[in-house]
């Protein structure tokens, strides 16, 4: 189903003024018929007054970034787009299956009645009264899906949430190709999120291929969040093309280990950080010891045999790598 935009329909004001003029003339004609006693004129005038309101059903007012999909006796005839006062066939019907659905944070539906809240696959949705209107918003809207628990490529449960900005670009596809384009979008966001997150580890892990080229890489949910978000956006866009929806961006809003393993993973990260710090300290200490021995040898400050060099290296490493300040011991006797 391809969208067909109706042009040349911004004549609503002319039609409205014409209807008002018809009513004024008909009322004057009715008064004249009553005064003259002409039964035919009175009957004709009453018939005109009875049917002159029908064209009023064809008057449509659209605000900026709104559209109206119209059908005539079940056949799609076109879409009104852009602000203005329109006149169409009075027997046309506006269609929008998602008019009563509001996705989380997508404020495109308003109602003065008490809403009914339900839970959908993507989080909380609000169903409003059926008289909320059939207009389709063309604005950029936000879908903030609920946090999901997904296993990463290593099998660790991860909680992740995304925010998707989107808009309708083809009203005919949105209305006729899917049952409810808003719920469809929410479901496709959930599916794409699961498909992409399962390809990445939470943190950098060895021997993991996240790109599909057969080579291990450094991709991770925590370290490559922009890349992961771009892949999620591409996956969602591929799934919602048939619904006439454009995905503008998708960004990760929440990322954490699931509560049941969060404490263990925190200990693992702490242990890894301690090991890396110790490795750096040892590398620096060895370099300082080598420098000290070289300086002593160059300046001929003292001549040490291999046993004394080993003792000196041991003492320096203890001092440089220890967690506490060294407690010096003064030897007042012979070096040997």
Q: Could you give phi then psi for residue 59, rounded to 5 degrees?
A: -85, 125
pLDDT in tens, 231-242: 999 999 999 999
Nearest alpha carbon to residue 239 among 157, 172, 164: 164
What are the structure tokens assigned to 297, written together? 């040898």
pLDDT of 110: 43
Report the alpha-carbon distance of residue 295 to residue 239 in Å, rounded: 68
pLDDT at site 128: 35
C-alpha span between 78 and 71 (Å, rounded): 7
CB 202 within 8 Å of CB 222:
yes
Question: Could you identify the residue written with the tokens 């200490």?
Answer: 285
Q: What average pLDDT does range 246-253 have in this prediction?
A: 93
Which domains can be identified in the chain, with CATH numbers? 12-94 (no CATH), 138-257 (3.30.479.30), 268-321 (no CATH)
Instruction: Give the residue, 173 or 113, on which the prediction is more confident.
Output: 173
Per-residue confidence band for 119, with pLDDT thresholds at 50, 70 and 90? very low
For range 50-57, the mean pLDDT? 89
SS (H, E, C) the chain: CCCCECCCCCCHHHHHHHHHHHHHHHHHHHHHHHHHCCHHHHHHHHHHHHHCCHHHHHEEEECCCEEEEEEECCEEEEEEECCEEEECCCCCEECCCCCCEEECCCCCCCCCCCCEEEEECCEEEEECCHHHCCCEECCCEEEECCCEEEECCCCCEEEEEEEEEEEECCHHHHHHCCCCHHHHHHHHHHHHHHHHHCCCCCCCCCCCCCCCCCCCCCCCCCCCHHHHHHHHHHHHHHHHHHHCEEEEEEEEEEEEECHHHHHHHHHHHHHHHHHHHHHHHHHHHHHHHHHHHHHHHHHCCCCCCHHHHHHHHHHHHHHHHCCCCCCCCCCCCCCC
- The pLDDT value recorded for residue 326 is 60
Which range of 82-86, 142-146, 278-282, 322-326 scores highest in mean pLDDT? It is 82-86
Q: What is the pLDDT of residues 6-21, one digit of tens each?
A: 888 889 899 999 999 9
Angle at CA 225, nearest 5°, toward 224 and 226?
A: 95
Q: What is the pLDDT of residue 167?
A: 94
pLDDT at residue 41 above 90? no
Kindly state the percentage of the chain with pLDDT values over 70: 81
Q: Which of 107-116, 250-259, 316-325 has the highest mean pLDDT?
A: 250-259
CB 54 within 8 A of CB 35: no
Chain centre to alpha carbon of residue 283? 46
Which of 20-24, 90-94, 191-195, 263-267 is predicted with the least confidence, judged by mean pLDDT? 263-267
Report the distance separating Cα 92 and Cα 89, nearest Å: 6
pLDDT-derived band at 335, boundaries 50, 70, 90:
low
Query: What pLDDT score does 328 carry?
Result: 65
216 close to 207: Cβ distance less than 8 angstroms: yes
> What is the per-residue pLDDT for 172?
92
Structure tokens at 227: 């890349």
* Residue that is written with structure tokens 């093309």 in the block: 241
- List all residues 6 or more positions away from 293 whose beta carbon is below 8 Å from its beta carbon: 309, 312, 313
Instruction: Please state the pTM of the whole predicted model.
Output: 0.69
**pLDDT (mean) for 20-43:** 84
Q: Please, what is the average pLDDT of the chain?
A: 80
Query: Does 278 have pLDDT greater than 80?
Result: no
Dihedral angle over CA of 26, 30, 33, 35, nearest 10: -130
Residue with the bigger pLDDT between 262 and 321: it is 321
Radius of gyration of the chain (CA): 38
Q: Do residues 106 and 124 make contact, with C-beta atoms less than 8 angstroms apart?
A: no
Write out pLDDT tens, residues 71-117.
999 899 999 998 999 999 999 999 998 888 777 654 444 443 334 34
């Amino acid at each position: 189903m391809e969208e067909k935009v109706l042009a040349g329909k911004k004549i609503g004001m002319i039609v409205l003024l014409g209807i008002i003029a018809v009513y004024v003339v008909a009322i004057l004609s009715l008064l004249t018929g009553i005064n003259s006693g002409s039964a035919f004129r009175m009957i004709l005038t009453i018939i005109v007054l009875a049917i002159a309101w029908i064209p009023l059903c064809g008057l449509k007012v659209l605000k900026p970034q709104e559209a109206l999909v119209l059908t005539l006796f079940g056949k799609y005839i076109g879409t009104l787009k852009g602000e203005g006062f329109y006149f169409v066939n009075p027997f046309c019907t506006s269609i929008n299956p998602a008019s009563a659905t509001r996705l989380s944070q997508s404020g495109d539906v308003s109602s003065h009645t008490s809403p009914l809240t339900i839970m959908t696959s993507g989080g909380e949705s609000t169903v409003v009264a059926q008289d909320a209107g059939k207009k389709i918003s063309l604005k950029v809207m936000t879908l903030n899906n609920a946090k999901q628990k997904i296993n990463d490529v290593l099998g660790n449960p991860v909680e992740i949430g995304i925010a998707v900005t989107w808009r309708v670009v083809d009203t005919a596809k949105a209305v006729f190709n899917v049952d409810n384009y808003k719920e469809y979008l929410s479901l496709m966001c959930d599916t794409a999120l699961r498909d992409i997150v399962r390809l990445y580890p939470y943190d950098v892990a060895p021997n993991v291929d996240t790109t599909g080229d057969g080579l291990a890489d450094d991709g991770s949910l925590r370290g490559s969040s922009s890349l992961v978000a771009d892949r999620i956006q591409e996956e969602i866009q591929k799934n919602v093309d048939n619904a006439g929806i454009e995905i503008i961006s998708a960004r990760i809003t929440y990322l954490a280990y699931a509560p049941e393993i969060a404490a263990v993973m925190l200990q693992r990260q702490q242990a890894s950080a301690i090991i890396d710090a110790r490795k750096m300290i040892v590398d620096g200490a060895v370099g300082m010891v080598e420098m000290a021995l070289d300086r002593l040898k160059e300046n001929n400050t003292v001549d040490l045999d291999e046993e004394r060099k080993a003792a000196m290296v041991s003492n320096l490493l203890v001092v440089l790598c220890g967690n506490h300040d060294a407690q010096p011991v003064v030897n007042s006797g012979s070096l040997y």
